[in-house]
């Protein structure tokens, strides 16, 4: 068998050299691509780790926020219950104080005439009893008497008109009209050295 001509040998060698260069180039490109893929994979892995850590931290933060909100809700509910109990207690207290407030308002409306009456009694107390030397001998008895309509034979009052030094009880009779229209009589007595005030319905023996 005859050897191939030198031209074919050279062409075959050149073709093999080109194939080797191409293979080496492809291997280099493959290695570069593999390096790039590995780098991208590492970057993606690190990014995934960062995202996972961020998600975990976000979840923990949300859990802490939810726990704080639940605690705040419980505190608010306790405060609401306490305020409701305080409101109920105050309503009860208002219901208890309402009649007393109405009574105080009624007393305030009745204060001016009572103040005048007290001023008159204070003036009478200031005047004191009449001296015995100023009384007429054998004169009429004091015009003041109680409201029982007793006969002339009953005990008469002492000559002194005002004061607390009389020997027998001295009676002052005052008729008053109540808020509901009922008539009451009030009188004061000098018992010993003390003045006693009593009230009774009109028509009763004071």
Render pLDDT for 56-110 as a digit per residue (tens, 0 to 9). Answer: 999 999 999 999 999 999 999 999 999 999 999 999 999 999 999 999 898 888 8
Extract the tokens encoding 58.
């976000």
Q: 0.85 cut: is pTM over it?
A: no
Q: How far apart are CA 117 and CA 128, in angstroms?
A: 17
Render pLDDT for 131-142 as a digit per residue (tens, 0 to 9). Answer: 666 555 554 444
């Amino acid at each position: 068998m005859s050897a191939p001509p030198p031209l074919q040998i050279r062409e075959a060698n050149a073709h093999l050299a080109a194939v080797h260069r191409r293979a080496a180039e492809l291997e280099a490109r493959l290695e570069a691509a593999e390096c790039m893929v590995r780098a991208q994979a590492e970057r993606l892995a690190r990014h995934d780790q960062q995202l996972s850590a961020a998600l975990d931290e976000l979840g923990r933060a949300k859990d802490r926020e939810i726990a704080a909100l639940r605690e705040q809700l419980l505190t608010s509910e306790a405060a609401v219950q306490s305020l409701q109990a305080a409101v109920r207690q105050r309503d009860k207290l208002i219901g208890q104080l309402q009649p007393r407030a109405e009574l105080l308002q009624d007393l305030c409306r009745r204060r001016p005439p009572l103040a005048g009456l007290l001023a008159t009694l204070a003036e009478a107390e200031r005047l004191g009893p009449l001296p015995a030397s100023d009384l007429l001998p054998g004169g009429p008895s004091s015009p003041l008497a109680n409201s029982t309509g007793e006969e002339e034979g009953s005990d008469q009052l002492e000559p002194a008109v005002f004061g607390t030094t009389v020997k027998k009880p001295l009676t002052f009779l005052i008729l008053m009209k109540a808020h509901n229209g009922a008539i009451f009589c009030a009188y004061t007595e000098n018992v010993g050295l003390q003045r006693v005030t009593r009230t009774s319905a009109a028509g009763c023996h004071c």
